[in-house]
Amino acid sequence: MSAPEAVLTARNVSIEYEVDPPVKAVRNVSLTLNRGEILGLAGESGCGKTTLAYGMNRLLKAPALMTDGEIVFHDRSGTDIDVVALDGDGLRAFRWDKISMVFQGAMNSLNPVIDVRAQIFDIFDTHRPGMSKKDKQARAEELLTLVGVDPSRLTSFPHELSGGMRQRMMIAMALALDPQVMVMDEPTTALDVVVQRGIIREIMRLRERLGFAVIFITHDLPMLIEISDRIAVMLQGEIVEQGTAEEIYRTPQHEYTKRLLSSFPSLTGERGDFVRTGSRASQEEIR
Ligand SMILES: Nc1ncnc2c1ncn2[C@@H]1O[C@H](COP(=O)(O)OP(=O)(O)OP(=O)(O)O)[C@@H](O)[C@H]1O
Ligand SMILES: [Mg+2]
């Protein structure tokens, strides 16, 4: 097997909310995302997961400020992109194109008065201004098919779609420009277990087919163990433990990791199942 190749590297990243008193939301975090892998980011509410994800996407806005560290995107062309230094056109060519994000609570943030097609076309209009209407239509249909939604749904409005379908639409939009990295922030948390499972399976399938890497954020560590290659555990702004899914599952080092492992029912609903079969077997099963 060839050595893993990094696609995104964060080194000693610190992010503060400059409010009174200041909130040190991310403290000295170093993370490497390898090409094509699923990196799980786990940790309880308020530990800084979303803030870190925004930092890596260069989406932070005041009062948030990255006070220290570097973030480098290793493009498939061979060029390294200094993410922190990007601005203007460089930043526009980076977001959505190189790295896209499925936002926390996103399925409720589709514009209610515009049909799905217009929302997808919007991405092309911003990032591919020369694209013909015919090509936009073809690509939009292809994207829906990819995420398991019938293309006839393009003319639906968000309220006509189930929660699961809306979330699939958000994933379709994140895939629109064929990014190398997708950050998914609690993409299935609001959905019931059956729908959740269907969407996770879809993400795994797409990842295999299209080869993008995923940072998958959730407080549900048992679920991450089933789907991730590697996992980072975050506590109060810091990464307290990192390892392969196998290592985190079998030999968790940090007390907090142990606590997270025992505090949630797994995606399968039957913890026994995945305790017996181990994380790899469950990963097979989930496909
Ligand atoms: N706009 C803001 N102003 C001040 N503090 C903020 C702001 N946004 C977030 N924070 C604080 O930063 C810390 C990290 O928040 P963040 O949303 O990144 O956590 P999270 O791990 O994503 O939580 P959750 O699991 O609930 O989504 C928290 O203490 C939060 O209260
Ligand atoms: Mg969050």
Rounded to two decimals, the pTM is 0.90
Q: Which of 51, 67, 183, 260 gets mutated to test ligand 1 (max ligand atoms within 8 A of its CB)?
A: 51
pLDDT at 81: 97
pLDDT at 7: 97
The tens-digit pLDDT sequence of the chain (287 residues) is: 567 899 999 999 999 999 999 999 999 999 999 999 999 999 999 999 999 999 999 999 999 999 999 999 999 999 999 999 999 999 988 999 999 999 888 777 788 899 999 999 999 999 999 999 999 999 999 999 999 999 999 999 999 999 899 999 999 999 999 999 999 999 888 788 888 889 999 999 999 999 999 999 998 898 899 999 999 999 999 999 999 999 999 999 999 999 988 876 554 444 333 333 333 334 333 33
pLDDT at 237: 97
pLDDT at 265: 58
Specify the ligand 1 atom closest to the Cα of 54: 18
The β-bridge partners of 72 are 9, 82
pLDDT at 264: 60
Specify the ligand 1 atom closest to the Cα of 44: 25
pLDDT at 105: 81
What are the residues whose beta carbons fall under 8 Å from the beta carbon of 201, sequence distance 6 or more?
286, 287
Dist CA 91 CA 47 (whole Å): 27
Which ligand has the nearest atom to the CA of 54?
1
Return the HEC string of the chain. CCCCCEEEEEEEEEEEECCCCCEEEEEEEEEEEECCCEEEEECCCCCCHHHHHHHHCCCCCCCEEEEEEEEEEECCCCCEEEHHHCCHHHHHHHECCCEEEECCCHHHCCCCCCCHHHHHHHHHHHHCCCCCHHHHHHHHHHHHHHCCCCHHHHHCCHHHCCHHHHHHHHHHHHHCCCCCEEEEECCCCCCCHHHHHHHHHHHHHHHHHHCCEEEEEECCHHHHHHHCCEEEEEECCEEEEEEEHHHHHHCCCCHHHHHHHHCCCCCCCCHHHHHHHHHHHHHHHHC
Domain boundaries, the chain: 6-98+180-245, 107-178
What are the residues whose beta carbons fall under 8 Å from the beta carbon of 17, sequence distance 6 or more?
23, 25, 51, 63, 64, 65
What is the 76 CA–ligand 1 centroid distance (Å)? Answer: 32
Return the HEC string of 82-144. EHHHCCHHHHHHHECCCEEEECCCHHHCCCCCCCHHHHHHHHHHHHCCCCCHHHHHHHHHHHH
| Cβ < 6 A, ligand 1 pocket | 17, 19, 23, 25, 43, 45-51, 63, 104, 219
Q: Which of 13, 17, 61, 224 gets mutated to test ligand 1 (max ligand atoms within 8 A of its CB)?
A: 17
pLDDT at 287: 35
What is the 25 CA–ligand 1 centroid distance (Å)? Answer: 7
Spelled out in words, what is the top-level CATH class assigned to the domain 6-98+180-245?
alpha beta
Dist CA 254 CA 242 (whole Å): 10
Which ligand has the nearest atom to the CA of 52?
1
